[in-house]
Amino acid sequence: MRILFINNAGTGYADHLEIGEGTTVEQFFKIKMPNQNEADYLIRVNRQPVSRDYIIQEGDRVTFTPQKIEGARDNKPVVICAKR
Amino acid sequence: MDNRLLFKISLLISQKLTSLEKNTSIELLERLTKLAEHFRDMTQESRRIALALNRNWLFSAKRCRENLVRILDEIPYKIETIKQISNKDDQEGTPIVSLIFAELTQIRQEFSDADFNSDKRIISVVTKPVTLEDIYLGPFRIELYIDKLSSLYKESPYYCIALEPNPAANNGEVTHPHVSGETLCEGEGYVAIRAALEQGRMYDFFTIVNNILNTYSPDSPYVALDDWFGGADCYDCGSSISEDDSYYCGFCGRVFCSECSSYCRSCEESCCLGCGGHCPNCEEFICKNCLKVCQECGERYCNLCMEDSICETCKEQNETEELENTNETDGKQDNFKMAG
């Protein structure tokens, strides 16, 4: 089963993934975000909040957005701001 | 915002993101050209080394070798940035209008006061009031300028405006530890924000910015929350002082409030009360550098009240004594004359 996964904790780019039938959101979170706490994330499927036992469907768009994202004085990552 | 307006905005965003794709390709081309120039420099430098060796100019060869190392060092960075830009092309193309429309619908549902300014082409949402470590910073309006989406990687397309500003005491521009001049320093969110905008995920964009505004990173704020109500205390009275009310004393190197500080009426330098004093003659405040010791009485006076290292009082006294002495001498002379 193919879904679209967006992890806003990382690069934020969308990935098409194959997952098993009957995978719940909770299971999927544990696979993709090991050692992370669900409470620290805004978890949405097709832009809507869902319960942890929601079974992901073919073509769903699953988004994980951290509740806490640290800003910084330096606006850009080193590799981008170090234009020469 | 009615659906018709939302659709219009969606179309506009889609157009701008198409331009962004074009701009990204232009940027890729520019960087490739620069890389090619870099390789050309490398070839030139290697020719110079060969020439220097043929003529047995060993020092020149060494200088060329150093230049070559510098050129080589920059190549991995240049390739990395080109790869980053190229990889963007691997992502899905410009998001379809219906996807952007769905995103805007979501924004309308979840953010209060979501608005579209048709004149300036701005989408804005208002966050809930932000409080970080018990400091109330108020709600922020996040304004996204649609026209700036096409140059996403050159300038920030959005601003965070404090609606009930409670700026740092030391800097009125800083309305949030990570916002200065209405620009958010995104830190960890930099890449995710750009990815969300590039893919037309407007709802994700506003959510990420909102989450950054609700997070405090003590490692790299413009102004730390600990210093929010004044970065420094007056060295003398200990009261918290703002940037506008802080005065540096160049003599002791400490910061004071306006009450505990003054300026020298002679040299006009800022000076704390402990590093200066009042001239006993004119009673003006003078710094310790401009207070001079009178050679006669040992009192300290300002430059203006001294002449030839003698205070006015001593000078007057001396003049009187001198006059008296002169009179006495004149008398003696007369005496002498008379005696003679």
What's the complex ipTM?
0.79
| CB-based contact, B77 to chain A, within 8 Å | yes
Residue of chain A minimizing CA distance to B75: A84
B39 and B150 in a single domain? The answer is: no
Q: Please list every residue in chain A whose beta carbon sits closer than 8 Å to the beta carbon of residue B196.
A: 8, 12
Vertex B216 angle, CA A65 and B81, to 5°: 60
For residue B329, tell me if it sits in a domain.
no
Residue-wise pLDDT for B100-127, tens only, equals 999 999 998 888 789 987 778 999 999 9
Residue of chain A minimizing CA distance to B186: A71
Residue-wise pLDDT for B229-247, tens only, equals 866 678 888 777 766 777 8
What count of residues does chain A have?
84
Torsion of CA A42, B152, B15, A16, to 10 degrees: -40
Structural domain boundaries, residue B144: 97-225
Between chains, do B217 and A63 touch, taking CB under 8 Å as contact? no
B251 and B294 in a single domain? The answer is: yes
For residue B324, tell me if it sits in a domain.
no
Task: Give the pairing of strands B183-184 and B179-180.
Answer: antiparallel
Q: Please list every residue in chain A whose beta carbon sits closer than 8 Å to the beta carbon of residue B194.
A: 12
Number of domains chain B is built from: 3
Q: What is the pLDDT along chain B (340 residues), one digit of tens a residue?
A: 688 888 888 999 999 988 887 887 888 888 899 899 989 999 998 999 999 899 888 888 888 898 888 889 888 878 877 877 776 655 556 678 899 999 999 998 888 789 987 778 999 999 999 999 999 999 999 999 999 998 887 789 999 999 999 998 777 889 999 999 999 988 888 888 988 998 899 999 999 999 999 999 888 788 888 888 866 678 888 777 766 777 878 788 777 888 888 888 888 888 888 888 888 888 888 888 888 888 888 888 888 888 888 888 888 888 787 777 766 665 555 444 433 3
Q: Please list every residue in chain A whose beta carbon sits closer than 8 Å to the beta carbon of residue B203.
A: 47
B197 and B282 in a single domain? The answer is: no
* CATH for B210: 3.10.110
CB-CB: which of A8, A71, A80 is closest to B217? A71
The minimum CA-CA distance between B40 and chain A, rounded to whole Å, is 17
Poorest-confidence range of A21-25, A40-44, B290-294?
B290-294
Q: Which residue, among A73, A79, A83, A84, would best test binding to B if mutated, counting the most B CBs under 10 Å from its CB? A: A73
B258 and B186 in a single domain? The answer is: no
B218 and B262 in a single domain? The answer is: no
B207 and B133 in a single domain? The answer is: yes
d(CA B264, CA B271): 7
**Contact between B159 and B183 (Cβ < 8 Å):** yes
Alpha helix segments (H runs only) across B55-182: 58-90, 97-110
**Contact between B279 and B301 (Cβ < 8 Å):** yes
CATH of domain A2-81: 3.10.20.30
B178 and B102 in a single domain? The answer is: yes
Between chains, do B91 and A13 touch, taking CB under 8 Å as contact? yes
CB-CB: which of A12, A47, A82 is closest to B192? A12
Q: Please list every residue in chain A whose beta carbon sits closer than 8 Å to the beta carbon of residue B183.
A: 75
For residue B127, tell me if it sits in a domain.
yes
Per-residue burial over B15-36, b if 16 or more Cβ lie within 10 Å, else e, is: ebbeebeeebeebbeebeeebe
Where does a domain end: B89, B110, B145? Answer: B89
For residue B193, tell me if it sits in a domain.
yes
| CB-based contact, B98 to chain A, within 8 Å | no
B276 and B306 in a single domain? The answer is: yes
* Domain residue limits, chain A: 2-81
